[in-house]
Structure 1
Amino acid sequence: MTRIVQIVPFIGPGSGVAGVAWNLEQQFRALGASVERYTFDDARRGRPRPWPRSKLMRRLARGWRVVWFSTFGTARARRFLAERPDAVSICHNDVMAGDVYVNHGVILGSMRARGNPAWLMVRNPFHIFVHLRDRARYRGRTHRAVVVLSQQDVAELRDAYGRVRPRTVEIPNGVDLGRFRPPTHEERVEARSALGLGTDERVAVFIGHEFHRKGLRYAIEGLRYAPSVLLLIVGGSDDIIAEANASAQGLGVGDRVLFVGPRHDLAPFLAASDMFVLPSAYEANALVVLEALASGLPVVTTRVGYAPEIVVDGDNGYLVDRDPLAVGERLEELAGLEDDELAGFRRRARASVEGHSWRATAERYLALADELLAERTAASRPGAPGGTEAKAAP
């Protein structure tokens, strides 16, 4: 039985790194592997601290958590792993330990995509810490393999850190094909009714908390070129929602923008929509793009992360520049389709991710784990380079 330890700051159903690790954990167990987790709370040994209320203090607390888990958490994680010599460890963030490191993003790449990276790095010293930490990670011998989530990741890593010493293996994220699926007619009507929508509107949905990086303003401005489209926005916080709403009102499209705030269950909002839009500046592999496609929505997105490998122009969506006109024209093109033509897009969207189940993704991780175990066993044999006999030789 393969034994897996996942190292991740937090784990649980949903999006982001925590959701990736949680989905892998479920599938590893379903495939017969033994799975343990090592989280920030485990490193803290069950001593939680109250989360600060002010925005500034929350920001400082997040930075402190990254630094602590990367340093003290690393030392404790290494002791934890030393007690499990037969396990293959998969690290998802922060900790400088583990056989496999999953690259969920390159901090310098994200800063460059937003423009003025030097200022963005200096403005937040924690970004500098992460960049230097990961430079040591990728150029050193901390990990035996690095999992990248898209082909673009390899170029991003080399551009940011130069030589990457561990071997890289592309394993894209998966999607829950049971939870995210094209809705029935009844489910679609119910989802729209809950939002106060009728059956005739053409609805584009945007999902994301970081409005600036995810490019919400391009979607809102794009409505000027998509007069038939209503934009449904899921995510955000009070201050950035207020800012985005003011922008929509100023552009004269406020009556076609609906903010619902952060939501845990995304399926109803995807069920209520006709298309998905994400003009993001940077992604490693946006889970929500796969979830939208699985829900049968054509996707209008930028050429970042895994999108160029899964979205085919005119087939299951469109790849666009980060430009309001380009975004708006494609949204209006989809909105103007006859019902049967849009249904064709929906079928092709779903078909494009049928091979991306979390089960298939977990199988690829376990295959990599088996390779690493075989290499470890071979290296430990007497006479092998680095083996016990070689170490004893004068």
Structure 2
Amino acid sequence: MTRIVQVVPFIGPGTGVAGVAWNLEQRLRALGAEMDRFTFDDARHGRSVPWPRNAFLARIRGGWRMIWFSTVGTRRAKRFLAERPDAVSICHNNVVAGDVYVNHGVLLASMRARGRSPWRIYRNPVHLFIYVRDRIRYRGHAHRVVVCLSERDAADLRATYGPIGPRIEVIPNGVDLERFRPPTPEERTAARAELKLGTEERVAVFVGHEFSRKGLSFAIRGLVHAPSVLLMIIGGNDAIIAEAYEEAKQHGVGDRVLFLGPRGNLTAHLAACDLFVFPSAYEANALVVLEALASGLPVVATPVGYAPEIIVDGENGYLVDRDPQAVGERMEQIASLDDAALAALRERARASVVPLGWPTIAQRYLDLLEGVRAEREASGAPGASAERSGG
């Protein structure tokens, strides 16, 4: 039986890094692996983390937990792994230890994609810390393998940090094909009734909390070029929702936007929609794109992250420039399809992600980890990468 430790700040069902680690844990266990975890709470040993006391550090208090887990957490994770020499390990974010590191994004690449100048990036001490930490991670030998979530993610990594020490493997995120599936006619009718939608509206949905990076403005302004589309918006907070609604009114489309705010049960809301729009500036591999496709929604997205590897124009959606007219015209093109053509497009959207179910992705990780363990044994290394990192 393969013994696997996941090192991750937080783990649990849902979205983001925590959700990816949770899905891997469940699926790897189902494949027969013995699973263990080392989290932020484990690193704390039940005690509170000391908060910075001087004024300078107080200004970066928001990143302090990340810095603590990256430094103190790394030392404690190395000890944890050294006590389990038979285990192979997967690390997600912050800690610089573990056989395999899963790269969930490159911060500097994300900021460059949003047009941030080097000055704006590096004047933030947290950004400087992340750059130095990850330069050590990627240029050194803290890990044996770095998993990138898309070919674009791997290219961004090399462009940012130059030659990468560990070898790079590309394994995309998985998707829960049981939870995210096309709705039955009854489920679709109920979902629309809950939102007081009629049967004729063509509804596009946007999901994301970072409205700026995810490109909500381009979707809102795109409605000018998509006169038959209603845009449903899930996520955000009161301040940015108010700002986005003002923009919608300024462009004369305020009556065609529906702000739902954060919602836990995403599947019920996707069931009410006809397409998904996501003009993001940067992604490593957006889970929500895979979830939308699995739910039978064709996707209009910018060619970032995994989107260029999964979306085929006219087959399961469209790739577009980050331009309101381009976004709007593709939304309208999908919305103007008759029911039969839209149903066929929805079927192809679902079919395109069937090979990415979590059981299949977990098997790829298991194969990788077993290969890493064999490499480690052949090289005579007694345990996980704690030894390789000088821990």
TM-score bracket, normalised by the shorter chain, equals over 0.9
Q: Does the 8 A contact of 1:111 with 1:120 survive in 2?
A: no
Aligned residue number for residue 337 of structure 2: 337
Q: Offset of 1:252 from its aligned partner?
A: 1.0
1:346 corresponds to 2:346: yes
Aligned residue number for residue 8 of structure 2: 8
Deviations along 1:3-55, one digit per CA (max 9) or x if unpaired, are: 1100111111111101100000000111110001111111111235799xxxx
Matched position secondary structure for 1:130: helix
Aligned residue number for residue 186 of structure 1: 186
Alignment of 1:232-311 (within 5 A): 232-311=232-311
Q: Does the 8 A contact of 1:138 with 1:164 survive in 2?
A: yes
Work out the CA distance in 1 between the residues paired with 2:238 and 2:37. 33
Aligned residue number for residue 115 of structure 1: 115
Q: Offset of 1:119 from its aligned partner?
A: 3.6
Write the letter of the residue equivalent to 2:103: N
Matched position secondary structure for 1:10: coil
Q: Does the 8 A contact of 1:108 with 1:117 survive in 2?
A: no
1:94 corresponds to 2:77: no
Work out the CA distance in 2 between the residues paired with 1:50 and 1:228. 54
Work out the CA distance in 2 between the residues paired with 1:285 and 1:102. 12
Write the letter of the residue equivalent to 2:362: A
Work out the CA distance in 2 between the residues paired with 1:198 and 1:330. 22
Work out the CA distance in 2 between the residues paired with 1:59 and 1:338. 55
Q: Offset of 1:199 from its aligned partner?
A: 1.0
Alignment of 1:64-213 (within 5 A): 64-213=64-213
Aligned residue number for residue 370 of structure 1: 370
Write the letter of the residue equivalent to 2:286: A
Write the letter of the residue equivalent to 1:170: V
Deviations along 1:284-314, one digit per CA (max 9) or x if unpaired, are: 0000000000000000000000000000001
Q: Does the 8 A contact of 1:192 with 1:272 survive in 2?
A: yes
Q: Offset of 1:168 from its aligned partner?
A: 0.5
Taking a change above 3 Å as real, the CA distance of residues 111 and 322 of structure 1, as seen in their structure-2 partners, is same
Work out the CA distance in 2 between the residues paired with 1:50 and 1:22. 28
Aligned residue number for residue 63 of structure 1: 63
What residue ranges of structure 1 are gaps of 5+ in the alignment?
52-56, 383-394
Work out the CA distance in 2 between the residues paired with 1:365 and 1:338. 41
- How many corresponding residue pairs? 377
Structure 1 window deviating more from structure 2 (125-134 vs 24-33): it is 125-134
Matched position secondary structure for 2:105: coil
Matched position secondary structure for 1:277: strand
Work out the CA distance in 2 between the residues paired with 1:98 and 1:117. 33
Work out the CA distance in 1 between the residues paired with 2:159 and 2:49. 38
State the identity %.
Answer: 68
Q: Offset of 1:117 from its aligned partner?
A: 3.4
Taking a change above 3 Å as real, the CA distance of residues 137 and 113 of structure 1, as seen in their structure-2 partners, is same
Q: Does the 8 A contact of 2:6 with 2:89 survive in 1?
A: yes
Q: Offset of 1:59 from its aligned partner?
A: 8.4
The TM-score with structure 2 as length reference comes to 0.94
Aligned residue number for residue 318 of structure 1: 318
